[in-house]
Structure 1
Amino acid sequence: MRDLIRNEIKEYVLESKENWLEEIQDRYFDEPIVKFASSEDPLFEEYKKIIDIDHLTPKEAFESFFGKDSYEGGTVISIVLPINEKIIKSNAAKKDNASKEWALLRAFTDGFRIGLNKHLVNFLEQKGYKAVAPADLEEFKIYSTLSGPSSNWSERHIAFAAGLGTFGINDGFITEKGIAIRLTSVVTNLTLIPDIRKAESHTENCLLFRNGICGACIKRCPVNAISKDGHDKIKCWKYVYGDESRKLAEAYGGNSAVGSGCGLCQTKVPCECKNPTAIFP
């Protein structure tokens, strides 16, 4: 069943007519990576301390949709959507703001992610199981904290639990296909063998954390929101969602409501398309 699910997701991403950007005559997203986490993994409870008390566990997310006591265990399916290299290269050439291709990706991503989630949920239902995408629930929320914006279902933390990668100094998520990615996930009552989380720390894939020899993303940030001390989420948020970002998105033909994004710290860096620490023992 694990292989069936992986193949279904890959087929949807690679064959979807929506997954096509005219500007580059190629896909927005390349072949996805899919891994599985047990909904009983104690890390999900730990997230209430690490992230916030309101961060949902898989059980809470499932039962918020299907009702109290409806969940008796299962699996979290986490999906990495690697961004096409042509889009990455277009953004790598920029210094102060996002490229047109990157801005159009930003406008495209949410709708595609929702469509993929619905497809996977329907696939599981046809097999006799229940499933829900927590980030698409009415209960999903993004809210302000003293350190910046947070959500009650962090796709990056879900992906970490599934063993898909670790965090960088810029708070991005570095997978085997790099940091220039998008993430999504689905919770199901289908119980599957979970993938092994091999990382010894939550920052293992970041060269700066691991070897102290990088910091490329620090130099790439146009508003100095990244330093060796970490990531200023508030400064970053204001730039990514600010007026100039909205105007640029509109000029590009994107979605002014979500802005043009930035992504400079995810491109023209050693981790843009790969795990740069894979060469180290």
Structure 2
Amino acid sequence: MKMEKHMDAKEAGERIKQLIVEELKAYVRESKENYSEELQATYYEEPIIQFAAADDPLFEEYKTLVSPDHATPREVFERSFGAGSYEGGTVISVVLPISEVIRRANRAQKEGPSREWALLRTFGDEYFIRAIRGHLPAYLSRLGYRAVAPLDTDWYSIQGSASGPVSNWSERHVAYAAGLGSFSINDGFISEKGIAIRLFSVVTDLQVTPDARTAATHTANCLLHSKGSCGVCITRCPVQAISEEGHDKIACMKFVYGEASRNWAVASGGDAKSGAGCGLCQTKVPCESRNPMRSVR
């Protein structure tokens, strides 16, 4: 039986939000899949979790801003649970900050990712995040709610375009809708825990009060966009895929998933299909592990 039947609806909603936050923090803290024996460190630190209303008009705007194929939460829900099943809900968005051990190793690199970062791509980004994405819907089900992680559906896809790959469910845009931060010149997402992060989200029929978006613009946390200063990520990119005009997604993708990257992933002990990633523009930059605009303000 759903919890709000036993108490005031608003009070129940806040209680459920807190339960979800506590559950996800505990999962990140306690999961064996979030720990590398080889590195003697976790892949991710304590997460940030926020909530967006599934009917937020911004999700409809993403069909213009991102792609006509970008799904709305209603579409996500009804593709999973059937036409007419949607009666409102919430999108839960989660920031997973990459651990200091891995970030520190990558700061020292200039031509490509560290071995630690390559291991993160396989065992953190692929194995652990897939596990926690599955855990959250299962947990919500135990509370009496239906939920689905869009990236784990059979309709989720990444398509090529003239400007580079485009997905039909963008975790970065979802995080922005949930008020978790804003975008960078390099197309990364700058949260309160910085840009060296990973994101995932779940759509559910749970209805709670959404968190507010506090960023004044969609690039408010980027020093270059907001203050005309910085641009460190431009100098960090080993393939010159970042400039003041923006991010060359195609050049970036070729480097991150190319043959050399796959070979380095295998040599490091990871999977070729995951690639070794890069992350140079996410480390040794002012926004690596914090919102740099906080100190400016």
TM-score category (smaller protein): over 0.9
Superposition pairs for residues 124-203 of structure 1, below 5 Å? 124-203=140-219
Contact 2:33 2:127 in 1 (8 A): no
Superposition pairs for residues 111-126 of structure 1, below 5 Å? 111-126=127-142
In the aligned structure 2, how far is the partner of 1:153 from the partner of 1:230?
A: 21
* TM-score in terms of structure 2 length: 0.93
Residue 24 of structure 1: how far off its partner (Å): 2.6
Superposition pairs for residues 1-281 of structure 1, below 5 Å? 1-108=16-123, 109-281=125-297
In the aligned structure 2, how far is the partner of 1:175 from the partner of 1:156?
A: 10
Aligned-pair RMSD on alpha carbons? 0.7
SS at match of 1:246: helix
Residue 114 of structure 1: how far off its partner (Å): 1.8
Residue 123 of structure 1: how far off its partner (Å): 1.1
Contact 1:23 1:101 in 2 (8 A): no
In the aligned structure 1, how far is the partner of 2:241 from the partner of 2:38?
A: 30
In the aligned structure 2, how far is the partner of 1:173 from the partner of 1:21?
A: 25
SS at match of 1:18: helix
* TM-score in terms of structure 1 length: 0.99
Where do 5+ consecutive residues of structure 2 fail to align? Answer: 1-15
Q: What letter is aligned with 1:232?
A: D
| Number of aligned residues | 281
Contact 1:78 1:184 in 2 (8 A): yes
SS at match of 2:109: coil
Residue 117 of structure 1: how far off its partner (Å): 1.7
The sequence identity of aligned pairs, in percent, is 58
Q: List structure 1 runs of 4+ shifted beyond 4 angstroms.
A: none
> Which structure shows the higher helix fraction?
2
Residue 23 of structure 1: how far off its partner (Å): 3.1
